[in-house]
Structure 1
Amino acid sequence: MSSAAPKLEQDPITILEELMAARFSCRRFRDDPVPRAVIERILTAAQKTASWCNSQPWRLEITSGPATEAFRKVMYAAASSGKPASGDFPFPREYTGVYLERRRESGFQLYNALDIPRGDKAGYARQALENYNLFGAPHVAIIHSDEALGTYGAIDCGGYVTSFMLAAQALGIATVPQAALAFHSDLVRQHFGLGDDRKVVCGISFGYPDLGHKANSYRTNRASIAETARFHDEEL
């Protein structure tokens, strides 16, 4: 009996390319929950993420049903009241040049899709608050790391977030990574009973996508290889 692995219909790189091309930041979800077995399969796949010294620093708080509604209520109330941000990691000092251009383009794509007029700051603010409504998702995963691991722990968690999202995409589950949920890390720690040694990296709201919603009708652009990589073939 042959022990060779079964031949895939597509090359692994083709599968990966298709998953990465299909994944998008979902900003409106359906109400129906994801079965626990599907969530656990996502977690099993994502656990293979590489990490510094194999430390695997990510820990997750995952909500479903009433737990999601309770967290949504707490976060939305805090954000809509104007509670000051209290993130565990420094936010970008500023966006300039091409980074500012990309940020603006992404924002205007969303606002245009939702028919929010350019310059409508009240409309922008209402849409920003949807982060704390979890875009209607039935689940959220809060990713946190050990304070002692500092930036490297956060970097490893970033790799885990990508693995989580691609595994979810492979199973037909939409995701949106949310730094906004880490803006109130003190509240997140309090809500989930986490110690001060746990630092909140981000959240991932997830569920089945509402593909008919305007917020999911566009896709962001990506820079070319020429804009992001330099090749060195000769000694400098």
Structure 2
Amino acid sequence: MNQSADAPAGRTDPAAALEHLLTTRFSCRAFQDRQVPRPVVERLLTLAQRSASWCNTQPWQVIVTSGEGTERLREAMSAHAREHGPEFDFDPPAEYRGVHRERRRATGWQLYEAVGIARGDRAASARQAEQNFRFFGAPHVAIVTTDAVHRVYGAVDGGLYVGTFLLAARSLGLGAVAQAAPAGHAALVRRHFAVPDDRKILVAIAFGYADTDHPVNGYRTARAPLDEVVTWVDE
């Protein structure tokens, strides 16, 4: 499997470079056991900081863990998740219907098939789900928060930041995955990092060097064709 982030030879125009990042990016769920050098992490964050936002407010703030900081968070999060149900700062989807439900299920089955989980094996699926709270073994975690008074637009701006972060990580040869599950334990995150009440926990991003030999990193998800998502108005 070719996991190189380098653009194909002879394709140096900006659109081709962006297309390469978009089409080779994937949600990384297994990482190598090595730290990313601080200058690389700083470059990643500098690139992500170029994200667009409403009136250039840049309402996001980011907590980045390394080394023992990651291990302490990993142990605290996994222990908390075993004893407590989810409680998000932002309401999660009420339900998934129609094509959204179909896409979600298809992605889930791809994941299970990649790691050899049979349909109906609830114990194995629970063990896989628990890896969310261990950040899939990533050496680094970014906790993204936004200003509570910005309401939904703070979440939109934060989402733009996350998207830019993921592409920036790919451009630097890093694997990353945006995670909602840890944000479902916002109280633990707030307590662990002394996050003030005027900040909302939006999402976690696990990142590091991808373990490209692990089967969980071997599948890719599809995207809907334009005729399913675009309405053209010409008159």
The unaligned stretches of length 5 or more in structure 1 are: 1-7
Structure 1: which 4+ aligned runs deviate by more than 6 Å? none
1:51 to 50, 53, 67: 53
Structure 1 residue 207: Cα displacement: 0.2
Count of aligned pairs between the two proteins: 226
1:27 aligns with 2:29: yes
| Deviation of 1:9 (Å) | 5.8
Give the structure 1 partner of residue 39 of structure 2: 37
**Where do 1:187-202 residues align within 5 Å?**
187-202=188-203
Report the residue type matching 1:101 in the other structure: E
Aligned 1:107-146 pairs, distance under 5 A: 107-146=108-147
Task: Determine the C-alpha separation between the residues in 1 that align with 2:199 and 2:216.
Answer: 33
1:12 is matched with 14
Question: CA-to-partner distance for each residue in 1:137-184, whole Å, 9 max, x for gaps?
Answer: 000000001111111001100000011111110010110000111100
Q: Which residue of 1 aligns with 2:5?
A: none
Find the counterpart in structure 2 of residue 3 from structure 1.
none
Separation of aligned partners in 2, 1:125 and 1:149: 35
1:63 partner amino acid: T
Give the AA of the match of 2:67: G
User: Which position in structure 2 is the counterpart of 1:207?
Assistant: 208
CA–CA separation in structure 2 for the residues paired with 1:60 and 1:19: 23
| CA drift at 1:80 | 2.0
Secondary structure (helix, strand or coil) at the match of 2:207 reads strand
RMSD: 1.0
TM-score by length of 1: 0.94
Task: Tell me whether 1:78 sits opposite 2:80 in the alignment.
Answer: yes
**Alignment partner of 1:98 is 2:99:** yes
Unaligned runs of 5+ in 2: 1-9
C-alpha distance in structure 1 between counterparts of 2:91 and 2:123, whole Å: 26
In structure 2, give the amino acid aligned to 1:18.
H
Q: Match for residue 182 of structure 2?
A: 181
Distance 1:62 1:220 in 2: 28
Deviation at 1:217, TM superposition (A): 1.1
The secondary structure found in structure 2 opposite 1:32 is coil
What letter is aligned with 1:183? G
Given the two structures, how large is their TM-score scaled by the length of structure 2? Answer: 0.94
Tell me the distance in 2 between the aligned counterparts of 1:48 and 1:58. Answer: 12
Asked whether the equivalents of residues 148 and 200 of structure 2 are also in contact (C-alpha less than 8 Å), the reply is: yes
- Distance in 1 (alpha carbons) for counterparts of 2:61 and 2:224: 32
Q: Give the secondary-structure state (helix, strand or coil) at the position aligned to 1:131.
A: helix
Query: Are the equivalent residues in 1 in contact too, given 2:11–2:17 (CA < 8 A)?
Result: no
Deviations 1:95-120 (A, max 9, x none): 01000000000000000111100111
Structure ID, larger Rg: 1
Alpha-carbon distance in 2 for matches of 1:187, 1:210 = 28
Alpha-carbon displacement from aligned partner over 1:165-219 (angstroms, at most 9, x marks no partner): 1111001011000011110001101000111111000000000000110111100
